[in-house]
Amino acid sequence: MKKHLLWYLPALVLLTQACGDEPGEGTTESGFRYIHYVQNDGPKPQPGDVVSFHAYQFLGDSIVFSTRERGRAASVLIPTAEVKTKNPSPIVEAVKLMSVGDSMSVFYPLDSLPRKPRGYEDVDEVRYDVVVTEIKTQEKVAEEQQAAAQEAEAVKARESEVAERVAHYLEEFRQGQLDDQLMALDSGLLMLVIEEGNGPRVQPRQPVKVHYYGVLQADGKMFDNSFRRGQPFQFYPGVGMVIKGWDMAIPRLREGGKALIFVPSALGYGKAGNPPAIPPDADLVFYVEVVKAGK
């Protein structure tokens, strides 16, 4: 529970930066009390708009949830006047009053509930600190969704090309033609950097998005790949979200980089394997493209 020393500082900075006027206080349409810290002159969201924001949930001085800790902003669709709800959201009502860059605290009184949630019995209210990062119109959202769908189809179309490329590299590896190009780590992992990339370097504990194509080194059989799904895979290196081989190799790459990673069984799925696709003690090969490094 005691995260306040670690997580309150960025929240405090976001709420107070560029704040030249006295905070404005008031209540939302459903009566939630708020304090408006940073107030810009930009447009407010309209019904149908999608608002992206970061939020921190506080109990006293302790943060119990943060979108920044999760690594990505939250978003909400601003409802039309015709949409009614029995349980209005304090965050939704807060962001309706905000522009991009605004920050606000909004308070949710727990005594308005028939029964307080478990663990909140001695709490009178919950505070949410909210910072709006983006406002998009319905049309803009539709355009982005269409563009994303087209991009996904283009990625899917590359699957066969990537499969041929991986098979070609694997054959060269077996014949020893890549020996002078491979980077060997002390762990036994081998890397072939195909393209360096010119973007930022992948950082431990920071988000990274990659496309990958994984095969068994023994027979070249594909066991998983992101191209078929049309979406890159996002993870945080160095926190145990992926196999050890990836945690060791991916931070050596840059955004835009492409590489072949030869992962010995001990740095992959080990003696247990990952049935049915990956048998026990299987050495793996991954073709990887770093799509995005960092937030």
Span 170-187, pLDDT tens digits: 999 999 999 999 999 999
pLDDT in tens, 199-234: 999 999 999 999 999 999 999 999 999 999 999 999
pLDDT of the residue at 72: 79
CATH assignment of 155-293? 3.10.50.40
Could you give the CA distance from residue 65 to residue 200 in angstroms, rounded to a whole number? 29
Count of helix runs (H) and strand runs (E) in the chain: 6, 14
Average confidence score pLDDT of the chain: 88
All structural domains of the chain with their residue ranges: 4-136, 155-293
- What are the tokens at 159? 């699957």
pLDDT confidence band for 4 (50 / 70 / 90): very low
Type of residue numbered 113 = L
Q: What is the mean pLDDT of residues 163-172?
A: 97
Greater pLDDT, 170 or 16: 170
What's the whole-model pTM score? 0.64
Per-residue pLDDT at 39 exceeds 50: yes
Could you give the CA distance from residue 191 to residue 286 in angstroms, rounded to a whole number? 10
Architecture in CATH of 4-136: Roll (3.10)
pLDDT of the residue at 110: 86
pLDDT of the residue at 62: 82
Type of residue numbered 252 = R
pLDDT confidence band for 120 (50 / 70 / 90): confident
Type of residue numbered 166 = V
Q: Return the closest-CA partner of residue 245 out of 159, 185, 295.
A: 185
pLDDT confidence band for 18 (50 / 70 / 90): very low
Q: Return the closest-CA partner of residue 259 out of 174, 194, 171.
A: 194
Could you give the CA distance from residue 56 to residue 66 in angstroms, rounded to a whole number? 4
3-state class of 265 per DSSP? Answer: helix
pLDDT of the residue at 84: 64
Per-residue pLDDT at 8 exceeds 80: no
Q: What is the mean pLDDT of residues 104-121?
A: 82
pLDDT of the residue at 112: 73
Q: What is the mean pLDDT of residues 57-64?
A: 83
Residue-wise burial string across 4-14, b where 16 or more C-beta atoms lie within 10 A, e elsewhere: eeebbebbeeb
- The answer to whether the 4-136 and 155-293 domains have the same CATH topology is yes
